[in-house]
Structure 1
Amino acid sequence: MGERKQSPSLSQRREGESVLKLTPGINQAVPGLAQEVRPVPLENPILLGWSEALATELGLERCDEALLRQLNGEGPFPLPATAQVYSGHQFGGYTPRLGDGRGCHLGEVAGRELFLKGSGPTPYSRGGDGRAVIRSAVREFLASEALHHLGIPTTRALAVLASDTPVFREQPERGAITVRVTPSHLRFGHFEYFRHTGQPHRVKALLEYALARYFPCCLNQPEPVTALFLEVVERTAETVADWQAAGFVHGVLNSDNMSLLGETFDYGPFAFMDRCDPGFVCNHSDHYGRYAFDQQPGIGWWNLQRLALALSDHLDGALMAPALELYRTRLTARYLWRMEARLGLPGDGGLQPRLDRIAALVTLMQESGVDYHSTLRLFARLDPEGDGGELKARLGSRAAWTTWWHGYRQALSFGDLGGWQRGRAAANPSVVLRTHLAQQVIEAAERNDTRPLRELHKALCRPYDDHPETPHLTEDPPPWASTITLSCSS
């Protein structure tokens, strides 16, 4: 076997040569979408986190000194860095001009866009410093990887960098950069901006690019834009359903944080809920609970209506009724598929009884005040022919338990117990990115101790394993976890 070819070392590379093989993308193809910017590098950057699997997909073997400099915004770059303009509805009110206020696009690598989040001010910073801090950068890095390995559509994160650059928030913190990777950063807010600023030709240009690049199957339809919109409806519905089944709360579902591709996008004050609470609000800034866990399905549709308005020159108004029905149908089907896999139910029978069975379990969990994730993980050890075991110990004090358990057993159809339990272990993660776990690794990272972050990242990449070597990652949260607050600066 021949010797493995190594990446050229820093000394072997020609001076001024880019490590990243960047190619042009949408920012170069659609005039008016982005402006050129100059990244402002961090002082003394260090690599905190690195996704080796994603790096391999992008054709990157390791993060050496030259690549670290590029990810820090130092260059050299074969293309000018750019920042995109967009608008959006924030907490229900329209903000006419937003944009990439603390990051820049470098171009594409292996067909995916690279974005440096925290690389300094842009024309859209609105007086801000354009920086991210370690806590927000680490949270996005971990969340992107966590949702990806749970099978939930999301942007990815290649790396997270820390530095000595001071950043002033509620108190002085250290500047950081998250390297975001996605096929497209197109948001609902891009179309809103060009529609509401009277630039219909740019709405058309964005649609043409999106159809050709991301939705080519729609080009063969009689009305390609209608087909694209309905595809976005389906993708959005399925991602929201995935969040609901996973107990994940995005936290800031503004229309500018909605991806045209249906990816989980722009992580801020997100959280996986601990105690089962459908009304859970993770964002301390969300005073009225607009983006509570149980509001996400309705907000997803509300944002799709904003997108439809932005595309109204290209859509028939009569489309909205069937689009709403499609949204409801796909969201319900996807949620049932996820939850019935978690519970080991066969997925047949009437729609309403199936939904009612899951809703009754969620109510039992809520009234019992139990942890959402570890309770569902108990199904991996459940003997459905027994009396409920550990599950009964958690929920059996409720009068409704007996009724639910009887109906659940009647609905089941299974043969080999071991195979059935392995199926439940493959559908109910033992490790999720709990807020207190993220907080612990952030505090260590701020001391330049990367071991806890690497340990948690490794576990999140194998969320369905038991991880006996790190039991603290699979335990219910400690009491102090409920005191952690998250806001839009998180």
Structure 2
Amino acid sequence: MNTDLATSETSAHELLHFANAFAGLPAPFHTRQLPTPLPAPYLVDASQSAAQMIGLEPAAFESADLIQTLSGNRIAAGSQPLAAVYSGHQFGVWAGQLGDGRAILLGDVAAANGGRMELQLKGAGATPYSRMGDGRAVLRSSIREYLCSEAMAALGIPTSRALAIVGSDQLAMRERPETTAVVTRMAPSFVRFGSFEHWYYNNQHDALKTLADYVIAGFYPELQAADNPYQALLADVTRRTAHLMAQWQAVGFMHGVMNTDNMSILGLTLDYGPFGFMEAYDPSHICNHTDQQGRYAYNKQPQIGHWNCFALGQALLPLIGSVEATEAALSGYQAQYGAKLDELLHAKLGLATQQADDDKLLDAMFALMQASHVDFTLFFRRLGALRLDDAGADAPLRDLFLDRAAFDAWALQYRARLKLENSRDDSRKLGMDSCNPKYVLRNYLAQTAIEQAQNKDFSEVRKLLEILENPFDEQPQHAKYAELPPDWARGLEVSCSS
């Protein structure tokens, strides 16, 4: 990618045409806040896939003016920068007022699908909600968020997007001094569960209604005709959240900080911090080193999603009108989560029908994976190569298990189950490969890209993005990116500061 910023004089106001829907809400919902200038910004990388969503061509990132805008140094015409207020439960405890402590919303722009996308700068300096923080993001965490946002989108999982990273030699103090960066995040809306909790716990029901009406009109317009639009909103958000949790579990994704202020009212994966993808299968794995009690462990994500929906239901109770109607809106979570996960797991195993004992086959599979610490992504990808009448083809899959005899016994049951529906090897593999990724953003891959980028070599960021944009493709030239993590990766830890 050309990073010579002097090659184009195209200005940001010619590339981005801002409107300001969220800024149109009353003053208590936000604080008008200019970004803090970032010294000598330079482009680290830009996602062409995300750019296409808002009509930006690759050449746009050769514009010095656009880079200045995406660093917060220049305000594009029409933009009304602001920081939003919200509150939330953090690790299950009411934390009170929070808000955009290092994120500044520039406004919304037209999207190629006919909707709108908000552009938000993460790491653009202090806001009134920064508490004791400096409002900056470091290059390390910015690369992680950028790559994972785009990786999740390519996996087909609802998520905010990352348009670009702009870096600087400016330092910020974390555990040690680190160079800073700004990520441009995109989503139709960044309203969170905690946005509603803020007004509920401050007993400001008029503001609560204003926010709910804004969300319904802008993002759930079909609910306006419902008998109780606020109940319908809670029911739809509950459904979306249940499905999102199932999608996370099915791909082995762990968010790490599922606080209510990190939960999207649109059912998007939001706020990438100490995330991780499951490697050696352990259902109780905790990807966030800060989470000492394991509240957000992999196997607890579904119930935490449910808990968070209840927190949203509590906040919407004054609008819904009764506890009974609120509980009714929440009541579908478990069934919706279970049905979605069952659908996804059947697809991952290449099972085209539902049979009575499928849960036993799945439970036995996960127990075997746990006992042998089998790599989650490799297992499902290699499972697609299993042949009904050729056990010798199992070798790459079988080698993942410590107890080969136990695997052989399970594979015998699995083959019998496949034959029950007359499964065909080639078509089954095609379907399984389309839902079992070969490539995910393993922590060690991100760390390698980060270390090179900290030395101003951004080529690995670019390569990783290109690989992760096609996670289901074989990409034989990049096969090493799908291998088991090296021994040194065991020492990697991510925390809330990551």
User: Same fold by TM-score, threshold 0.5 exceeded?
Assistant: yes
Superposition deviation, residue 321 in structure 1: 4.7
Superposition deviation, residue 197 in structure 1: 1.0
Letter of the 2:74 counterpart: G
> Deviation string for 1:383-442 (max 9, x for gaps)?
133334433333382554354323322322245422221211111111000000000001
Using the alignment, how far apart are the partners of 1:12 and 1:435 within structure 2? 37
Q: Secondary structure at the match of 1:237?
A: helix
* Structure 1 partner of 2:113: none
Using the alignment, how far apart are the partners of 2:14 and 2:368 within structure 1? 57
Aligned residues: 479
Structure 2 residue corresponding to 1:355, chosen from 347, 353, 359: 359
Using the alignment, how far apart are the partners of 1:320 and 1:312 within structure 2? 6
Using the alignment, how far apart are the partners of 1:406 and 1:238 within structure 2? 31
Q: Secondary structure at the match of 2:384?
A: helix
The residue correspondences of 1:74-473 to structure 2 (distance < 5 A) are 74-77=73-76, 78-110=78-110, 111-315=116-320, 316-319=322-325, 321-350=327-356, 353-387=357-391, 388-395=394-401, 397=403, 400-412=406-418, 413-473=421-481
* Structure 2 partner of 1:5: none
Does structure 2 retain, via aligned residues, the 8 Å contact 1:383–1:389? no
Letter of the 1:140 counterpart: E
RMSD: 1.8
* Structure 1 partner of 2:487: 479
Does structure 1 retain, via aligned residues, the 8 Å contact 2:375–2:400? no
Summarize the Cα distance change of 1:151–1:317 in structure 2 as closer, same or farther, 3 Å threshold: same
Superposition deviation, residue 471 in structure 1: 2.4
Structure 2 residue corresponding to 1:28, chosen from 20, 24, 44: 24
> Deviation string for 1:248-271 (max 9, x for gaps)?
100000010000011000010000
Using the alignment, how far apart are the partners of 2:490 and 2:216 within structure 1? 45
Summarize the Cα distance change of 1:17–1:211 in structure 2 as closer, same or farther, 3 Å threshold: closer
Q: Secondary structure at the match of 2:438?
A: coil
Superposition deviation, residue 76 in structure 1: 3.0
Does structure 2 retain, via aligned residues, the 8 Å contact 1:18–1:76? no
Q: Secondary structure at the match of 2:28?
A: coil
Of all paired residues, the percent bearing the same amino acid is 40
Does structure 2 retain, via aligned residues, the 8 Å contact 1:396–1:402? no
Superposition deviation, residue 378 in structure 1: 0.4
Q: Secondary structure at the match of 1:462?
A: coil
In the alignment, structure 1 residue 51 sits paired with structure 2 residue 47: yes
Using the alignment, how far apart are the partners of 2:466 and 2:436 within structure 1? 18
> Deviation string for 1:64-96 (max 9, x for gaps)?
211101001122332321000001000111111
Does structure 2 retain, via aligned residues, the 8 Å contact 1:191–1:311? yes
Superposition deviation, residue 113 in structure 1: 0.3
Superposition deviation, residue 27 in structure 1: 2.5
Q: Unpaired runs of 5+ in structure 2?
A: 1-5, 111-115
Superposition deviation, residue 482 in structure 1: 1.2
Superposition deviation, residue 325 in structure 1: 4.0
Does structure 1 retain, via aligned residues, the 8 Å contact 2:231–2:326? no
Q: Secondary structure at the match of 1:332?
A: helix
Using the alignment, how far apart are the partners of 1:189 and 1:28 within structure 2? 19
Does structure 2 retain, via aligned residues, the 8 Å contact 1:167–1:174? yes
Does structure 1 retain, via aligned residues, the 8 Å contact 2:160–2:269? yes
> Deviation string for 1:431-462 (max 9, x for gaps)?
00000000000111111111111110000000
Using the alignment, how far apart are the partners of 1:407 and 1:318 within structure 2? 45
Letter of the 2:324 counterpart: A
Superposition deviation, residue 19 in structure 1: 3.6
Superposition deviation, residue 164 in structure 1: 1.0
* Structure 2 partner of 1:4: none
Using the alignment, how far apart are the partners of 2:140 and 2:9 within structure 1? 34
Using the alignment, how far apart are the partners of 1:172 and 1:83 within structure 2? 26
> Deviation string for 1:270-298 (max 9, x for gaps)?
00011011011011100010000000011
